[in-house]
Structure 1
Amino acid sequence: MATKQSGLGRGLGDLFARTDEDQSTPLQDGSTFAELPLEQIVPNPQQPRTIFDEDDLAELAASIGEFGVLQPVVVRKAGRNSYELIMGERRLRASKLAGRATIPAIVRGTEDTALLRDALLENLHRADLNAIEEAQAYDQLLRDFGCTKEDLANKIHRSRPQVSNTLRLLNLPERVQMKVAAGVLSAGHARALLGLPDAESQERLAERIIAEGISVRSTEEIVALGRGRTEPRSSVSRGPRLPNERERDLSTHLSDHFDTRVKVNIGRNKGKITIEFASGDDLERIMAILDGTTI
């Protein structure tokens, strides 16, 4: 049975008239267009997105069943009759759900490292990633493609502290990361948990946040008070004074600027700023910022 096509679908069909899987159409940038069997396309190990909404996929599958795939996926040759997906995993998955045998694809070169890097960057812009998927994508770009944090921040139009703070989420224990990826724990909660000294405390407080519906602000206060454990204290003691709004704002600003935890305490006559560092190299990095920049 012939599938119904919209005007846009027919337009693409006219543009890419040769759809036989053994044929391809050369494109101006040196790549080719072809209609490829779904079974020949393997998943992209560099795909940052790992969680796909089933309802969204079902809706896209219904659209593909009626109108076809309106935007080709992007692949590269991986072997004889085998292609590696670079962009378009939602379209690929939905096409399988729709029962299609083939999918329109643009085939790129096999050794184009810059292409893979840029494809991953495009996925970061276009995909609705959760905070952990985003952090993993950042980490992959830094490790596999030699990007610096500054380069990455510029390419995705975010500040370097934003990139650094997102990457820090990968320091959380795996169980907490899974909760963030599943959407039961927000990125704000996750960043607050990083202030706790060990994985066990982070996991316990994460469970408490979910069970009690604790807000991000309350979580930050719990961490600041050093009460990241769920069991009550054996004796009641007066805790430290909670930071006021001015102190919190300054602490957040300086923490972002120095890419580490900074505490600000403003007293009646004097104050104190505490900058934490993880190692000698980290201290040298902070000293370089102090010597070379103005806040």
Structure 2
Amino acid sequence: MALFFNRKKTTPESKAVVQEVPLTAIVPNRFQPRKVFAKDAIDDLAQTIKEHGLLQPIILREYETGKYEIIAGERRFRAMQSLDFDKAPAIVQTMDDHESASMALIENLQREGLTAIEEARAYTELMKLNELTQDALAQQMGKSQSFVANKLRLLKLSDPAQNAILNHEITERHGRELLHLDDYHQQLMLHRIMAEGLTVKETAAEVQAIINPEPEPEPQPAETSETTETKKPAKKRQTKRKKRAVSNDPRLALNTIKASLKLVKDSGMAVASEEEETETSYRITIEIPKK
């Protein structure tokens, strides 16, 4: 990773000495690529730390006197917070802003569990920080240029589609199919994927149907008795049309409405809703502000 740390160091490297640092003096790294931290996973990690202790100290850098920024170990930091620890075992390294940002991005990229959107955003930040091309970044990360390019293309998706990947509501492969559509049709297709549970293959077929719709059949001229007698019977052109299954399950309708509400809320609109279930029906009240 030499290219990421090509600036001259103004201070000697800190020795790997474990210190006890107050949790209240620690802040997350602003370049942390992981944006979604599953509560269940943090709870499981907290239970492990409670039973076995912290097996690996977190890595910090002192950006101001007595104030520390996380380089590696935000999940462990969050788990210790949930356990009400006063201090965290940590190794404090000397880094400038550039090195801190690059190290945080690289450290997290080398771990599992990042979504494709988080990975793509991390690649973008690394290229900006280090003034790298896609090809140079790929070489430094040990990836092919096409691998990096395919990840970066996902950032062309609309915000709701990116958020759906971030929240594990659709897969990266679903997102690749949505790239063929404009933002409006992405919204419609995203709604259907989530409401109907479409597979990647089904999504690809529906996307192609939007891009290349079947032409309407041409109207046939009216036949007279004269033409009927002389005209040879033509073979009927058979066209296969895909019949879309329709379900009468009211729960599907309910989930469809909920998915639509979520898309509207993800767009930033402050929509309020109340749901009520009676013996005979479901009732949803939606309030949309005028401004």
Which aligned segments of 4 or more residues in structure 1 are displaced greater than 4 angstroms?
233-239
Q: 2:75 aligns with which of 72, 90, 93?
A: 90
**RMSD after superposition:** 2.6
Cα distance in 1, alignment partners of residues 135 and 70 from structure 2: 28
What secondary structure sits across from 2:148 in the alignment? helix
Q: CA deviation at 1:228?
A: 9.0
Higher relative contact order (CA 8 A, sep 6+): 2
Work out whether 1:212 is the aligned partner of 2:196: yes
* Superposition map of 1:226-241 within 5 A: 226-227=210-211
1:168, 1:31 → 2: CA distance?
41
Name the counterpart of 2:88: 103
Distance 2:85 2:31 in 1: 25
Distance 1:205 1:35, change over 3 A: same
CA distance in structure 2 between the partners assigned to 1:214 and 1:224 by the alignment: 14
Q: Secondary structure at the match of 2:110?
A: helix
Question: Of residues 41, 45, 52 in structure 1, which corresponds to 2:26?
Answer: 41
The corresponding residue for 2:249 is none
- How far does residue 112 in structure 1 lie from its aligned partner after superposition? 6.4
Q: Secondary structure at the match of 1:100?
A: coil
Give the drift of 1:234: 11
- Say if 2:189 is the partner of 1:202: no
Which residue is equivalent to 2:276?
Answer: none
Preserved CA contact (<8 Å) 1:204 1:228: no
* Aligned position for 1:156: 141
Q: CA deviation at 1:32?
A: 5.1
Tell me, what secondary structure is at the counterpart of 1:75? strand
1:123 aligns with 2:92: no
Contact conserved, 2:27 with 2:68, CA < 8 A, in 1? Answer: yes
Shift of 1:115: 5.3
Q: Deviations over 1:257-286 (max 9, x none)?
A: xxxxxxxxxxxxxxxxxxxxxxxxxxxxxx
Correspondence for 2:209: 225
How far apart, CA to CA, are the structure 2 residues paired with 1:52 and 1:113?
25
TM-score w.r.t. the length of structure 2 is: 0.65
> Which one has the largest radius of gyration?
2
Could you tell me which runs of 5 or more consecutive residues in structure 2 were left unpaired when the two chains were aligned: 1-11, 219-237, 240-291
Greater shift, 158-167 or 143-152, is seen at 143-152
Contact 1:201 1:228 (8 Å CA) reproduced: no
| Aligned counterparts of 2:142 and 2:62: Cα–Cα separation in 1 | 31
Q: Which moved more, 1:86-95 or 1:75-84?
A: 75-84
Q: CA deviation at 1:193?
A: 0.7
Decide whether aligned partners of structure 1 residues 165 and 136 sit closer, same or farther in structure 2, where only a CA change above 3 A counts.
same
Structure 1 position 235, deviation (Å): 5.0
User: 1:29 deviation in Å?
Assistant: 4.7
Aligned residues: 208
Among all aligned residue pairs of Structure 1 and Structure 2, give the percentage whose two residues are the same amino acid: 37
Does the 8 Å contact 2:71/2:103 carry over to 1? Answer: no
Q: What TM-score do the two structures reach when normalised by structure 1? A: 0.64
